[in-house]
Amino acid sequence: MRLLFLACLTPRTGNCFTAERIQDHIESAGHTCVLRDVAEFKSASDVTLLMTQEGPFEGALAIHLFKGGRLLLDAGAPFGVVFGGTDVNEDVKDEHKRKVMEEVLRRSRFAVAFSKELKEKAEAVLECGTCEIFVQAQGIETRVSSDLSWSGFLHRSGVRVNTVEDLRVFLLVCGLRKVKDPLYLLKAFSEWHAENPRVILIIIGPKVDFAFSAEVEECVRRSDGVFLAAERSQEELHTVMQKSFALVNSSVSEGMSAAILEAMDLGVPVLARDIPGNAAIVKHEMSGLLYSSPEEFVSLSKRLLSDAELQETLKKNGKRYVSECHSSAKERTTYRQLVDMLH
């Protein structure tokens, strides 16, 4: 089959990496999967024109029901959709978007949710009709780069220290947009850094919302102990994760954070904001730590720094969880089977 696949493809974001991974799964079964950025299209008619001019396409797939799925409503080909966290956490609050997403579900051959919790929430807030929602967790594979210099990375990020061995780096991985809330911890972390200069926070990721990114840059510039790093290739990002003391998530909402899962796979402790998408994959004090306020984040971080046994528990259990529940091979099998439903 020749398939059109629509997704948000801002470079070096979780959405982009997920789309590329799913594309690889589909093409490994012998199909042709043409991946295109939803930002290229203003309306469903633009996609219809593409399918006419660059076809034939025998089916289609989209990540995010509103951002991607709405563009397939007039495509004239069978399609499936993959839920994004934004769909059920944010877009459903808008009546117009909710109705569009329900129409997408009515016309879809299938839908995919990354977790049981995401599926249940979708069924609670959207009229899903006869569309079957399959649960398939994100498959995780990590690869580190042997070329990245840790001291060089810190220096380019603006960190000036005599010895990097004394540092405890907390790494916040996110595209710079409001839903990721990268400013949430700045004040509390800066105050902690004043007490303990060994701890620093590095925010790393692409500028998704440029106006908001400028605000983040200004706030970071005024915050001691907090630094902003440019996005990296996936292998380099995994290397930075592996060398950090802990991975931080401060999002307002998440579908399923690949960064959290990648950190677990790399044996790095995770501190995640206590929201449903994070609580679905992080079990407090077992595979990570969940916090509900900046003050609680600092308290838990201090505890983690001083408790080697807790560090080892989180590392061991996090790695085991990813191995057991986020198999890339199982994800590949699932998408191969789902594509067959588009015949």
pLDDT more than 70, % of the chain: 100
Predicted confidence at residue 101, as pLDDT, reads: 97
Per CATH, 2-139+327-342 and 150-325 having the same topology is answered yes
Rounded to whole angstroms, the Cα distance separating 297 from 271 reads 8
Rounded to whole angstroms, the Cα distance separating 50 from 29 reads 24
Q: 115 φ, ψ to 5°?
A: -150, 160
The CATH code of domain 2-139+327-342 reads 3.40.50.2000
| Statement: the pTM of the whole predicted model exceeds 0.85 | yes
Per-residue pLDDT, averaged over 144-160, amounts to: 91
DSSP assignment of 281-335 equals T--BTTTBEEESSHHHHHHHHHHHHH-HHHHHHHHHHHHHHHHHH--HHHHHHHH
Sequence spans of domains, the chain = 2-139+327-342, 150-325
Q: Is the pLDDT score of 163 beyond 90?
A: no
Q: Is the pLDDT score of 161 beyond 80?
A: no
Predicted confidence at residue 99, as pLDDT, reads: 97
pLDDT band at 25 (very low <50, low <70, confident <90, very high): very high
pLDDT band at 160 (very low <50, low <70, confident <90, very high): confident
3-state secondary structure of 271: strand
200-253 pLDDT, tens digit each = 999 999 999 999 999 999 999 999 999 999 999 999 999 999 999 999 999 999
The CATH code of domain 150-325 reads 3.40.50.2000
